[in-house]
Amino acid sequence: MDLITGKHISRRTALRGLGATVALPFLDAMLPAGRLLAANHPKALTDATRFIGIEMVHGAAGCNEWGESQFMWAPEKVGSNFDLTPSSLSPLKPWQDHLTIISNTDVENAEAKSPEEIGGDHFRSSATFLTQAHAKQTEGSDVYVGTSMDQYYAQRFGQDTPIPSMQLCIENVDQAGGCAYGYACVYTDTISWKSPTEPLPMIRDPRVAFDQLFGAGGTPEDRAWGRRTNKSILDWIIGEVSGLKRELGNTDRHRLDQYLENIREIERRIQMVEAQNTSGQRREIPEAPPGVPDDFEEHVKLMFDLQVLAFESDLTRVFSLKLGRDGSGRVYPGSGIDSAFHPASHHGGREERVSEYAEINRYHVSMVPYLLEKLANIQEGDGTLLDKTMLLYGSPMGDSNLHNHKRCPLFIAGGANGHLAGNMHIKAPDGTPMANVMLSLMHKLGMDDMDSFGDSTGDFSFTAVSDD
């Protein structure tokens, strides 16, 4: 440990200047001064579990009957040492030791419950994903579904961070009023619900998320001036940075420099996107704000980088991310498939088209290793951020062609502070609610007093019986 004798700074120390507020990463100097005190208190500062909930809309090819037989989502083997090669999860092979796959769970509350609700799966499924509750059919403001998993955690363990939670998305979610089949658009516009009647808006623009995290300019005028002059928020706090460095040891100074450089790099990338999108050149997504990249991969990586910075500085411990919209017409050139997303998802059960949809699923999953590597490269106390993160990725729909909610895709990555061992595939018994998995995950997050969630019927065992 590289501390200057007698120096101790608060975990909530921030660098401020001209409206910018830059929280700090975990530093050795944040441990109580003195070896005895440091030995007794470090875990309280470094053992907060981070949670990320990612919705992949509209099911997966491996949830189709033929796709399941080809192991296009869940691997053939149950237990450990499974083979991901034929699966859309194959990009996660290097991270298999950090991966827990839960297959064969259902999201019954996303199904139609009355004749009037038939056909409305697109417009209620997202609201059900993290709530595991059934959305009230209404086009008015009297929406009702349930409190989402991420918000239960934020309300319990996110109140001592500057931002209790953040909600991000990749596609347009700013529709208002009614969408179709009698459902308000808000049901498909967000996956995070503060209460059954309080949907939380999602941020699509990386610039907006960056400004929210780092207070980049106290007023809109300050922010506009900063952009016109190409000023970095780091320029506004340079004096405070210099003063802090004089109080830190070599290891902490290096850690701080790396953290600030990461902030500047993300800020620079956002500035480049804004410059490109305001240059007058033709855009692929003309309706998107200037800070939104036209390229899907670039957009997702920016959002992931912002999440990592927020976790590193303990600005928030809770994120949700909505990767798309059920009815999206977006084409993903990086997947190698020319078909637009929604038409590809309605594959008609034809083997060739199911395989094409599996490639789009694989492409979406291939974004996740970027985030896992970033988390794994950041040391915090006696572990990495990946060790201390629970990342849940899944969909409330199963076979997209049939609009059913059976055999829904789901995996968890990260160690969740020792609560998830990884290298595990567990196939649930037929008819198991996905809500059972989420209830047990909430227990692993410290909410032991919750005895039900959504339509749960009990706890879910994370011990698998191997096929060996």
Q: Which of 195, 200, 201, 191 is nearest to 397 (CA)?
A: 191
| Residue 34 located in a structural domain | no
Residue whose tokens read 């018994």: 429
In a domain, residue 105? The reply is: yes
Instruction: Give Cβ neighbours of residue 276 (< 8 Å, ≥ 6 apart).
Output: none
Q: Whose structure tokens read 């939670």? A: 165
Of the candidates 238, 208, 237, 202, the residue with the CA atom closest to the CA atom of residue 223: 208
Closest to 346 measured CA to CA, from 46, 59, 56: 59
pLDDT digits over 310-349, tens only? Answer: 999 999 999 999 999 888 899 999 999 999 999 999 999 9
Query: What whole-number distance in Å separates Cα of residue 386 and Cα of residue 373?
Result: 8
Contacts of 434 (CB under 8 A, 6+ apart): 102, 105, 106, 107, 132, 394, 396, 408, 410
In whole angstroms, what is the distance from residue 52 CA to residue 412 CA? 10
Whether 188 is covered by a domain: the verdict is no
**Residue 369 domain-assigned (yes or no):** yes
**Per-residue model confidence as pLDDT tens digits over 25-81:** 999 888 865 443 444 444 555 578 999 999 999 999 999 999 999 999 999 999 998
State the pLDDT at residue 228: 56
The rounded average pLDDT for each run of 10 residues, N- to C-terminus, in the chain (468 residues) is 53 79 89 50 68 96 94 95 95 98 97 94 94 96 96 95 96 73 93 97 96 71 56 84 89 92 95 94 92 97 98 96 91 96 94 96 98 97 95 96 95 97 96 98 97 97 65
Cα 134 to chain centroid distance, Å, stands at: 22
Both structure tokens of 367: 């974004």
State the average pLDDT for the chain.
90
Coil, strand or helix at 5 = coil
Phi-psi region of 190 (alpha: psi -120 to 50; beta: other; left: phi over 0): beta
In a domain, 103, yes or no: yes
Residue whose C-alpha is closest to residue 253's, from 239, 242, 238: 242
424-433 and 379-380: which strand pairing?
unpaired
CB contact at 8 A, 122 and 184: no
First CA to last CA across the chain, in angstroms? 45
| Distance between CA atoms of residues 60 and 407, nearest Å | 9
CA distance linking residue 436 with residue 416, whole number of Å: 18
Torsion of CA 51, 56, 57, 61, to 10 degrees: -140
Whole-number pLDDT of residue 264: 94
Q: Is residue 447 part of a domain?
A: yes
As for how many domains the chain has, the answer is 1
Query: Can you give the pLDDT at residue 204?
Result: 97
Distance CA 103, CA 352 (A): 23
DSSP state of 98: G
Rounded to whole angstroms, how far apart are CA atoms 332 and 358? 13
Range of the domain at 438: 47-113+124-131+146-174+315-468
Q: How far is 136 from 276, CA to CA, in rounded Å?
A: 42
Strands in 91-228 per DSSP E: 99-106, 166-169, 178-180, 183-184, 193-195, 198-199
CATH number at residue 323: 3.40.720
- Alpha-carbon distance of 309 to 313, in angstroms, equals 6
How many beta carbons lie within 10 A of that of residue 261, not counting itself?
Answer: 11
Give bridge partners of residue 55 from the DSSP assignment. 322, 394
Query: Tokens 């998995």 correspond to what residue?
Result: 437
Task: Spell out the residues 6+ positions from residue 219 whose beta carbon is closer than 8 angstroms to its own.
Answer: 19
Please tell me the predicted confidence (pLDDT) of residue 33: 53
Residue 212 placed within a domain: no
Write b or e for each residue in 266-280: b if 16 or more Cβ atoms lie within 10 A of its Cβ, otherwise e. Answer: bbebbbebbeebeee
The pTM is what? 0.93
Tens of pLDDT, residue by residue over 273-300, are: 999 999 999 999 998 999 999 999 999 9
Domain-embedded: residue 280: no
Q: What are phi and psi for residue 358, nearest 5 degrees?
A: -60, -35
